[in-house]
């Protein structure tokens, strides 16, 4: 272990501690390979302790019974704390995830902050829902009481650590749950930084939030299978999601899954191309294409196909690839060498499949790029909709462009994958665009925008992109278990529901 590097422990029951046998792993900057920190690698017994702390805080602690307005106040206070530390959080996220500082400073950290405030606001209406008066068979007053679900195991991937940590923690906290949280070993540092802020704030009772770190196949899998966990919220690959569903089945555990995607951008013939070109590129190359809802397929009407391709290529060649900490950088490295291998394998597959490589496809040249897994932003055209680069999630900066002749055909292509996470529709005719949006089988459709992450709106996927929703009221309610409470107003015995079905007592 390098003694000069910061060392981060596990956060269990309100205390930072080392992992059993002091096991750690090292986290590095993807752009340079420079080590950033040592992080505790939890054992099964460490996970047991974290789950026990969350269990105790849920079963006997004050948090599930804390009134919603008080939970709201705490979430708003946490948001203020994030705001005060925004510049350092942006830098941590950029170093750890290789995300350009411009994106973390102006988009990611502000979005996380906004989400925290929104769940503060939504917390106030999380527990009580009035129902209409019911008069069958006689008058009753009805309402739904929403109970916090319990101990939640939350596991996130590496590609959007800060925002994803908030969109896991905030709705669960808003509704009174307790949590054991596991970030990805590839980029856990902004999650750890947020836990440090939460700890220092002293705002949450002991055991309400717990952090465990370590390899997914060990720590993550043991956590989601833990018998004392009530609900699992997982974001990551479809492959691991499938496994988690099967782990949850024997205990009938509640699961929400946010998985992969292959989201289309549909460019209609009347699109405002100045905006559509930039929008398609933002949809594709934001976070170097390492976002689940990235617009990785671009479907373009044949009448504008040549122009759109030319302009996409021209703008892509202007993107500045480089050091994530340089404010001029548009695109940083990929998260890991392994991820670059995957991306390069798909670039080779695209060539073999006969798609036309019109820009990128290689590694940028220069000393700056020798120490990190950089890859050029890449565009294939004339991509067959059934080909592998149009069907499989690559999770890197590779755009597949396909022409279409009729709108119906574009919608069929858009819906023709096993995924259904997001889409965008580019058109000046909003009525037409809404009509298209309604025919797309995806959880989020942006009209004249991509990456429309909105904490008021439900987020999640159709088909193999997931189960359930996160964010919005719908996402928050995934963290509750409803009880219908019926208050009966019938005073007369012979007016009761059971009067006609129960035999009258003998002698009456
Ligand atoms: P991943 O391999 O599925 O890992 C996701 C998380 O699960 C990590 O924390 C990982 O830990 C952990 N993990 C790995 N194997 C596990 C197991 N057997 N049991 C329990 N946990 C396990 O995904 P990734 O490669 O990190 O992330 C990329 C994927 O996430 C893409 O497919 C992307 O589409 C998807 N994603 C989806 C959304 C969405 O909202 N729909 C958002 C972002 C990303 P370690 O990393 O420490 O091993
Ligand atoms: Mg992984």
138 and 208 part of one domain: yes
Judge whether 258 counts as a catalytic residue: yes
Q: What is the mean pLDDT of residues 8-22?
A: 98
Give the pLDDT of residue 3: 86
Each residue of 373-405: pLDDT tens digit? 999 999 999 999 999 999 999 999 999 999 999
* CATH number where 53 lies: 3.40.605.10
What is the pLDDT, as a whole number, of residue 355? Answer: 98
305 and 206, same structural domain?
no
Q: Side by side, which strands form the sheet with 128-130? A: 128-130, 140-148, 480-488
Judgement on whether residues 74 and 126 belong to the same structural domain of the protein: yes
| Active-site residue, selected from the candidate residues 29, 91, 93, 258 | 258
Q: Which ligand places an atom closest to the C-alpha of 260?
A: 1
- Has residue 40 been placed in a domain? no
- Residues of the domain holding 327: 264-447
Average pLDDT, the chain: 97
Which atom, in ligand 1's list, is nearest to the CA of 247?
Answer: 19
Predicted pLDDT at 94: 98
CA of 265 to the centre of ligand 2 (A): 26
What total of structural domains would you count in the chain? 2
Share of the chain above pLDDT 90, in %: 93
Residue-level pLDDT at 508: 66
Residues 186, 135 within the same domain: yes
Distance (angstroms) between ligand 1 centre and the Cα of 276 equals 31
Contact by Cβ (8 Å): 171, 475:
yes
CA of 236 to the centre of ligand 1 (A): 3
Q: How far is the CA of 336 from the centre of ligand 2 (A)?
A: 10
389 within domain boundaries: yes
pTM, entire model: 0.97
Residue 507 is assigned to a structural domain of this protein: no
| CATH number, domain containing residue 388 | 3.40.309.10
Name, in order, each residue with C-beta under 8 angstroms of 390's C-beta and a sequence gap of 6 or more: 262, 297, 383, 384, 400, 402, 417
- As a whole number, mean pLDDT of residues 179-184 equals 99
35: in domain = no
Same domain, yes or no: 274 and 248: no
Estimate to the nearest angstrom the gap between the alpha carbon of 179 and the chain centroid: 17
Helix residue ranges per DSSP H, 211-336: 221-224, 238-248, 273-285, 305-318
Q: Which ligand is closest to the CA of 158, given by its number?
A: 1
Q: Are both 392 and 467 inside the same structural domain?
A: no
Tens digits of residue pLDDT in 64-84: 999 999 999 999 999 999 999
Q: Give SS3 for 265.
A: strand
In a domain, 20, yes or no: no
Query: Which is catalytic among the residues 91, 93, 163, 292?
Result: 292
Q: How far is the CA of 99 from the centre of ligand 2 (A)?
A: 17
Active site residue 508: no
Scan for tokens 């278990």, then name that residue: 481
Pair 55, 131 in one domain: yes
Q: Over the stretch 410-424, which tens digit does the pLDDT of each residue have?
A: 999 999 999 999 999
pLDDT digits (tens, 9 = 90+) for 118-139: 999 999 988 999 999 888 888 8
**Do residues 325 and 303 share a domain?**
yes
Tell me which residue has its CA closest to atom 23 in ligand 1: 236
245-302 per-position pLDDT tens digit: 999 999 999 999 999 999 999 999 999 999 999 999 999 999 999 999 999 999 999 9
| Ligand 1 site residues, Cβ closer than 6 angstroms | 155-160, 182, 184-186, 215-217, 220-221, 224, 235-237, 240, 243-244, 258-261, 292, 393, 395, 421, 461, 466
């Amino acid at each position: 272990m390098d003694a000069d590097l910061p060392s981060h422990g596990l956060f269990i029951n309100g205390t930072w501690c080392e992992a059993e046998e002091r096991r750690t792993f090292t986290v590095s900057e993807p752009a340079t390979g420079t080590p950033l920190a040592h992080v505790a690698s939890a054992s099964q017994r460490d996970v047991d302790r974290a789950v026990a702390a969350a269990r105790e805080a849920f079963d006997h602690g004050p948090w599930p019974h804390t009134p919603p307005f008080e939970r709201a106040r705490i979430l708003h206070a946490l948001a203020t704390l994030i705001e005060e530390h925004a510049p350092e959080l942006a830098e941590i996220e950029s170093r750890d995830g290789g995300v350009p500082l411009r994106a973390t400073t102006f988009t990611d950290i502000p979005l996380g902050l906004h989400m925290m405030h929104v769940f503060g606001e939504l917390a106030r209406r999380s527990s009580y829902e009035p129902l209409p008066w019911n008069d069958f068979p006689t008058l009753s007053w009805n309402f739904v009481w929403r109970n916090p679900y319990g101990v939640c195991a939350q596991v996130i991937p590496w590609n959007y650590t800060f925002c994803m940590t908030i969109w896991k923690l905030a709705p669960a906290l808003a509704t009174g749950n307790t949590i054991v949280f596991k970030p990805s070993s590839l980029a856990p540092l902004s999650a750890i930084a947020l836990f440090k802020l939460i700890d220092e704030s002293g705002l949450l009772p002991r055991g309400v939030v717990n952090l465990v770190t370590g390899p997914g196949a060990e720590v993550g899998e043991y956590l989601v299978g833990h018998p004392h966990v009530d609900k699992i919220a997982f974001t990551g690959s479809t492959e691991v999601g499938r496994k988690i569903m099967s782990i949850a089945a024997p205990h009938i555990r509640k699961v929400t899954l946010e998985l992969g995607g292959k989201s289309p951008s549909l460019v209609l013939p009347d699109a405002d191309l100045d905006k559509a070109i930039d929008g398609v590129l933002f949809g594709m190359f934001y976070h170097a294409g390492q976002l689940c809802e990235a617009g990785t397929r671009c479907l373009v009407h044949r009448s504008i196909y040549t122009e759109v391709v030319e302009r996409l290529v021209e703008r892509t060649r202007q993107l500045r690839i480089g050091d994530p900490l340089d404010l001029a950088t548009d695109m940083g490295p990929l998260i890991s060498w392994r991820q670059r291998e995957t991306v390069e394998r798909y670039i080779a597959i695209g060539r073999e499949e006969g798609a036309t490589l019109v820009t990128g496809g290689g590694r940028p040249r220069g000393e700056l790029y020798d120490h990190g897994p950089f890859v050029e932003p890449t565009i294939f055209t004339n991509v067959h909709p059934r080909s592998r680069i149009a069907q499989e999630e690559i999770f890197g900066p590779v755009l597949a462009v396909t022409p279409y002749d009729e709108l119906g055909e574009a919608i069929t292509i858009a819906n023709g994958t096993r995924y259904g996470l997001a889409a965008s529709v580019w058109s000046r005719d909003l009525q037409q665009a809404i009509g298209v949006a309604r025919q797309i089988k995806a959880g989020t459709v942006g009209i004249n925008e991509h990456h429309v992450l909105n904490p008021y709106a439900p987020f999640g996927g159709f088909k193999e992109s997931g189960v359930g929703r996160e964010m919005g009221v719908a996402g928050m309610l995934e963290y509750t278990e409803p009880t219908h409470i019926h208050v009966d107003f019938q005073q007369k015995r012979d007016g009761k529901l059971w009067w006609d079905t129960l035999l009258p007592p003998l002698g009456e």
